[in-house]
Amino acid sequence: MRVTKYLLFPTLLVITMLMINSCETDETQTVTTLTNLVMADEFDTEGAPDSSLWTYDIGRGPNGDGWGNQELQFYTDNSENVRIENGFLLITAKEETIDGALYTSARLKTQGIFEQQYGRFEARIRMPYGKGLWPAFWLLGNDCDVNEWPLCGEIDIMEYLGDRPTTIFGSVHGPGYSAGQSEGKPYSLTNGRFDTGFHVFGIEWGPNYINYYVDGDLYNQITPDDVEGEWVFDHPFYIIINMAVGGLLPGSPDEDTEFPQTMVVDYVRVYQ
């Protein structure tokens, strides 16, 4: 399928807010508009993703257990699962058996290449559709090799379940608030679906806050006061974009899930 690319440049509103000098911090939100572009991939070069920005996770996870979530896919760097075409990054899940896995897909990351503390991270994405599909755009602490998850921290900018096409959610994971106890919030479209058009998913992250946006709309702010444990978001994180299949959260694909399914990424941009 050929699609025509256009760019939607950041148009976040500058929101002026009255800062109240009191203990009622839940009535005050920190909102910023960061405009200094420090990293961008517009996916304009055909073929494999830019190796100066991206590398891959391969396989079924370090313990072979579906990345700790009982996911069903085997991640590859094959062009059938990940490639740039017509100005888009395409991450495609296929129904095929490799090393005991029932599906293949891809998981890109900037680990060891681009890692940043604070800033605005955003991507413009069109989702796939079908039960059991689990695309995500997220950040992981760069110290996870030393401080095991969730001590290193995880910031989920966008997660999506393929059989719920009007809703995404953003969350954070850390010590005392991980997995099913993570801190986050869903965002639902009142008109439209995430699998029929592109939408911009982003965070603005600074000391003591992480703001969550969809198409420039601020829908949640998470601060140290919101989590049931240590705040572990004051060090560099790297970017991950992936599409899992199956697992504890979405469940397995059913007879109505069609394959292949593709997550289409228009761009990834990072600002300070």
Catalytic residues, by residue number, are 154, 159
Q: Which pair of tokens denotes residue 47?
A: 């073929």
Is the distance from CB of 255 to CB of 132 less than 8 angstroms?
Answer: no
The first and second tokens of residue 57, run together, are 């996770």
State how far the Cα of 228 lies from the Cα of 68, in Å rounded to an integer: 22
**The residue to which tokens 């959610």 are assigned:** 169
Per the CB < 8 A criterion, the answer to whether 132 and 259 are in contact is no
**Strands (E) located in 99-152:** 101-105, 107-109, 115-116, 119-126, 133-141
